[in-house]
Chains A and B, each alone.
Chain A
Amino acid sequence: MFILFGMPIVQILIFGFALTNEVKDSRIAILDESKDEASEAIIHRLESSLYFDIEKNITQPQLVDAFREGTIKLAVVFPQKFSEQLEHTNAASIQLIADATDPNVATTLVNYASAIIYDSQNDLKGFKELPFKINTEMRMLYNPQMKGSYNFVPGVMAMVLMLVCAMMTSISIVKEKEMGTMEIILVSPIVPMRVIIAKMVPYFILSAVNIASILLLSVFVLDVPIHGSLLFLISECLLFTLTVLALGLFISTISGSQQVAMLISLMGLFLPTIMFSGFMFPIENMPVPLQVISNVVPAKWFYYIVKNVMIKGLGFQFVWKETLVLSGMMLFLMAVSIKKFKVRLE
């Protein structure tokens, strides 16, 4: 009953308010190498915009790191002697560097920024008589061709593993409860740990095959490169697989029938994976409560890791925190479900 009446309300609220493709308050950095009248005027314009949350006084090496860590999505770079150039040649250019691992966000940000810069030309009228021109040069980091597949390959990977591992594992255990075969296993002297491992192994292998086929397809058919270490990427995938297997196990211990297990998997795993992993809707734009919720979705961490390792080519030192979170989740879920796995029927 709750599901029937509650779901539409929850969904309309979540989709209506929280999940927007709009970009608000994005963190951008400004590297101003000229620090003159013209550049300050433009920066002022950018600052007063609602779309951006501006980080000034950044140095070039810091900029590189910020992009890697994903703390900024866009950088506006003013070349040296910006005003002078404007004055003498009636033209100057500003470089816009965007993190294009998510091409939609990158395009939106670049468009916003260009529009603001274009508008601010009016502010500069007094400074210099028309006609003059400020060019914007765009640079799309990590994904120069702006391919959508760069974004969805990691997302699809998270979703497929979630479906195969969590849903199938939980259903396969609950099915035994329903069929009555679980009783027979429980009266036998076999230890619960072995039952659990035996249930996990086939899905683990299945997932490994899925990971391989997704990676092969994305590299050879979709031309999505793997910039980072392949071995590291695969081990992260296997870690995520274990995490969702544990999740599936956990679901099976709390649900009594296949339908319930299926429903919990869909509502509790599939939808949150789509909504909160950051793959459809940028997490930064969600209201704070939803951002907090997104932290418990394993797919969010996995998506972040895969994106960074695969597209940005980063190594362990940049994703160790996320790896740690995933490992923690896995151990916690394993422990809880092994403890909850009932040796007795009640």
Chain B
Amino acid sequence: MNVIEVENLSKHFGKFKAVDDISFNVSRGEIFGFLGANGAGKTTAMRMLCGLSLPTLGEARVAGFDLYKDAEQIKRNIGYMSQRFSLYDDLSIRENIRFYGGIYGLTNKQIKAKTESMLHHLNLEEEANKMVKSLPLGWKQKLAFSVSLLHDPQIVFLDEPTGGVDPITRREFWTMIYEASDKGTTVFVTTHYMDEAEYCSRVSIMVDGKIDALGTPLELKEKFDSPNMGDVFLKLARKAKRGDN
């Protein structure tokens, strides 16, 4: 069953086609890797799917809801973790969880239960009342990911969640992604790390606003006759005409 269906989706900024006619499907429980060089249009595409930005052309259904008609329903069924760190620095961990529970309309009882289990799971029980800004980046990112799953969304969108995080924490982060996927949550993730691309169930590679390759990491490696995903990516990304901006 497909939880994301995208058909001929485009986003133009004036003459610049940030996203140029992309189509793909993502099925339930998949970890869908969304790769591309800087400026290839990944973030724009993801923002359209989250309802943060309106497409210029094309159709898309997210969690079974139409992107144009049911944007509010989509919002209830997705989680989002942005490229930039997205918790409130000047609130404590506990307050952040409460805040996000609140804006997703969870009851106080639900929030309380979720907070305890999340703190326990992340081993942050002792830090619960500390300001988020005092946490190391890796912990913040893990916390932000957990918070984006707070309302049990069908799909979670992660925009470069592991940028600037050390390899060990990245490993732990991916363990969390697998756990979420095992529970049936679809994970839509953009990344620059090619080793992470290997962990995905399927990968799409965007070049100049278009999807140039789509398949399981194994398929792509065979198709492009490469030993690893990094090589696949380089072969495709070199064709890009757009600069690195």
Report whether B103 and A183 are in contact in the complex, using a CB–CB cutoff of 8 Å: no
Q: Could you tell me the distance in whole angstroms from the C-beta of A175 to the nearest C-beta in chain B?
A: 10
**Contact A346:B53 (CB < 8 A) given known A180-B84, A188-B103:** yes
Is A3 part of the contact surface with B, judged by Cβ < 8 Å? no
Report whether A183 and B52 are in contact in the complex, using a CB–CB cutoff of 8 Å: yes
Is A345 part of the contact surface with B, judged by Cβ < 8 Å? yes
Instruction: List, in ascending order, chain A residues with CB within 8 A of B76's CB.
Output: 189
* Size band of the interface chain A makes with B: 10 to 19
- Report which of B82, B88, B89, B105 forms a contact with A183, defined as CB distance below 8 A: B82
Chain A residue at smallest Cβ distance from B102: A190
Instruction: List, in ascending order, chain B residues with CB within 8 A of A264's CB.
Output: none
Report whether A189 and B52 are in contact in the complex, using a CB–CB cutoff of 8 Å: no
Is B50 part of the contact surface with A, judged by Cβ < 8 Å? yes
Chain A residue at smallest Cβ distance from B87: A181
Specify which of A181, A189, A190 lies most central, judged by the most chain B CB atoms within 10 Å of its CB.
A189
How many Å lie between the Cα of A264 and that of B160 in the bound state?
A: 34
A-facing residues in B22-64 (Cβ within 8 Å): 47, 50-54
Report whether A190 and B103 are in contact in the complex, using a CB–CB cutoff of 8 Å: yes
Report whether A344 and B51 are in contact in the complex, using a CB–CB cutoff of 8 Å: yes
Report whether B53 and A187 are in contact in the complex, using a CB–CB cutoff of 8 Å: no
What is the 8 Å Cβ interface bit string for chain A, positions 175-202, against chain B (1 contact, 0 not)? 0000111011111111000000000000
Report whether A188 and B75 are in contact in the complex, using a CB–CB cutoff of 8 Å: yes
Report whether A188 and B50 are in contact in the complex, using a CB–CB cutoff of 8 Å: no
**Contact A189:B72 (CB < 8 A) given known A180-B82, A345-B53:** yes
Report whether A187 and B80 are in contact in the complex, using a CB–CB cutoff of 8 Å: yes
Report whether A185 and B51 are in contact in the complex, using a CB–CB cutoff of 8 Å: no
- Report which of A179, A185, A187, A189 forms a contact with B89, defined as CB distance below 8 A: A179
**Contact A183:B85 (CB < 8 A) given known A188-B103, A345-B47, A345-B52:** no
Report whether B50 and A187 are in contact in the complex, using a CB–CB cutoff of 8 Å: yes
How many Å lie between the Cα of A187 and that of B47 in the bound state?
A: 9
B-facing residues in A300-346 (Cβ within 8 Å): 344-346
Specify which of B47, B75, B89, B103 lies most central, judged by the most chain A CB atoms within 10 Å of its CB.
B103
Report whether A186 and B52 are in contact in the complex, using a CB–CB cutoff of 8 Å: yes
Instruction: List, in ascending order, chain A residues with CB within 8 A of B82's CB.
Output: 180, 183-184
**Contact A181:B104 (CB < 8 A) given known A187-B75, A344-B53, A346-B53:** no
Instruction: List, in ascending order, chain A residues with CB within 8 A of B100's CB.
Output: 184, 188
Is B9 part of the contact surface with A, judged by Cβ < 8 Å? no
How many Å lie between the Cα of A185 and that of B88 in the bound state?
A: 11
Q: Could you tell me the distance in whole angstroms from the C-beta of A260 to the nearest C-beta in chain B?
A: 19
Instruction: List, in ascending order, chain A residues with CB within 8 A of B51's CB.
Output: 187, 344
Report whether A184 and B86 are in contact in the complex, using a CB–CB cutoff of 8 Å: yes
**Contact A181:B53 (CB < 8 A) given known A189-B72, A190-B103, A345-B47:** no
**15 residue pairs bridging A and B, Cβ less than 8 Å apart:** A179-B84, A180-B83, A183-B52, A184-B86, A185-B103, A186-B52, A187-B51, A187-B78, A188-B100, A188-B104, A189-B72, A344-B51, A344-B52, A344-B53, A345-B52
Residues in chain A within 8 A of chain B (CB atoms): 179-181, 183-190, 344-346
Other CB < 8 Å A-B pairs besides A180-B83, A181-B86, 16 of them? Answer: A179-B84, A180-B82, A180-B85, A180-B86, A183-B82, A183-B86, A184-B100, A187-B75, A187-B80, A188-B104, A189-B76, A189-B103, A189-B105, A190-B105, A345-B47, A345-B53
